[in-house]
Structure 1
Amino acid sequence: MLRSPAWADFWAVVRILTAVAGVAAIIAQLVRTVSNAEAAGQPVGTVVVNFLSFFTIQSNVAAAVTLTIGALLFWTQGRRTGVEPRWFAILLVCVTTYMVITGIVYNLLLRGIQLPQGETVAWSNEVMHVVIPIVLLLDLFLAHRRRALPWRAVWIIVIYPIVWVIYTLVRGPLVTSPGNGEPYWYPYPFLNPNNPALQPPGYAGVAVYVVVIAVGIIVVGALAVAVGRWRASQARGSEADHTAQ
């Protein structure tokens, strides 16, 4: 079924609809955040940059773009080629890893905690932290034309999270929090060295969370690469059996 033209067309539609839902969720939360900032007399420019600094927002933007590209690639050239382009396969495995990690971290560590972007839009929150991670996970197993990537692709996956953590920790103490006037701003409590709940306290506590999440990213990324390699191997075996018959 997964190799049938009808299924491939259906999954391309799923990708587009998921991308649209993701964009709608991001816009809805941004509008709410900006509206709250204006009502409270907060600096809107800083609030918007803070909003865009969340890993969740950045990974959801990347997911929407990637899913749209995947659908368009299939409709424009997918029916004529055997597997997805290598550059897209790398992009997709990266985004899949980031979204799965986003879902895991949010639902294990952050659900129920009020984050510093202001009042959350409930449906938007669920789309970005539950729906899209689940769709990307399903995409790993159900999407048409998966390409086998080399194991070294795992190290490509970790580049963006490392850059994001460095950016977050460098920017944090340079920004005054619009909400409470504290002389720092961090998107998540586990990255805030001033958080009294951290154990051990300070940057040592931050380092523990960063290392644990980094290991999670490597594990999830390796599993995503492994599934792609397994699916490509299964496809080759199926083609060989068909040729032999």
Structure 2
Amino acid sequence: MIFWICGVGMGRPSAALFRIAVLLTAALGVYLTCKDGVVSSLVYFTVQSNVLVAVVFAWASWATVRGSGQPPAWLKGGTTLYIAITGLVYNLVLADAPFQMTTGTSGTADLSNQLVHLVVPLAAAADWLLFDEHRRFRWAAAAAWLAYPVGYLGFALVRGALLDGPNRYPYPFLDVDAIGYDGLALNLLVYGGAFWLLGLVLVGVDRALPRNAAPTPEPEPKRVAA
């Protein structure tokens, strides 16, 4: 009933509710991760990608409720890719490594880790598959989307070079002190290639799916003059 009052047509309530849930989950995950130090937590790609999800899904939620224009394809696709990178890298590489991003009690740390590394990535992927309009990505987007990870790499390396002491680098695969520049170069080739291939998979799946055009508001019935 609320969605009808807001002007949401029958095709949009599920998408609106789901996107609001993703927004709130990402915001909660970021809050739990950052509550003991916002600046120190924002150096992590995980936190940055979850903040991006929260911002983009706030836009997408409002647009879905209003029946107005959704975030552009390049932004929604890039957001989906970056949060997928967050989930895959953590669960395949970092989960069993001596690496901890979140401080606080073990329960809080476990909850925030599950939210930002598992729940939000899966929910963002589900939203893209179920509710986004498809067949909008170009193959060149897979390379263009790498601009943000490359920028993050530069930020992480410059920050590490300017700081002293341990834990200067946010992730072990970027830790020049531990792996040297040869190890860093190898990691860049491996991870960069994997991210590019993941972008290609995203584009390929998008182009193979039905268009799934975003539902539009139903026209208001015409009033008949008395």
User: TM-score, normalised on structure 1?
Assistant: 0.74
Cα distance in 1 for residues equivalent to 2:209 and 2:153: 32
Per the TM alignment, residue 20 of structure 1 is displaced from its structure 2 partner at its CA by: 0.8
Of residues 20, 27, 33, the one that matches 2:31 is 27
Of residues 147, 159, 172, the one that matches 1:189 is 172
Per the TM alignment, residue 117 of structure 1 is displaced from its structure 2 partner at its CA by: 5.3
Per residue, is there more helix in 1 or in 2? Answer: 1
Q: CA RMSD in A?
A: 2.2
Paired AA for residue 189 in structure 1? P
Match of 1:102 in 2: 86
Per the TM alignment, residue 214 of structure 1 is displaced from its structure 2 partner at its CA by: 1.1
Consecutive unaligned residues of structure 2, counting only runs of 5 or more, are 1-8, 214-226
Match of 1:59 in 2: 49
How many residues end up aligned between the 2 structures?
A: 201
Change in CA separation of 1:118 and 1:28 when aligned onto 2, cut-off 3 Å: closer
User: TM-score, normalised on structure 2?
Assistant: 0.80
Of residues 178, 191, 199, the one that matches 1:221 is 199
Per the TM alignment, residue 58 of structure 1 is displaced from its structure 2 partner at its CA by: 0.4
- Counterparts of 1:67-146 in structure 2, within 5 Å, are 67-78=57-68, 88-112=72-96, 113-115=98-100, 118-119=103-104, 121-146=109-134
Cα distance in 1 for residues equivalent to 2:140 and 2:13: 31
Percent identity over the alignment is 30
Does the 8 A contact of 2:46 with 2:116 survive in 1? yes
Q: Deviations over 1:12-33 (max 9, x none)?
A: 21111111111111111211x3
Change in CA separation of 1:232 and 1:89 when aligned onto 2, cut-off 3 Å: farther
Consecutive unaligned residues of structure 1, counting only runs of 5 or more, are 35-47, 79-83, 196-200, 236-245
What secondary structure does 2:177 align onto? coil
Paired AA for residue 56 in structure 2? T
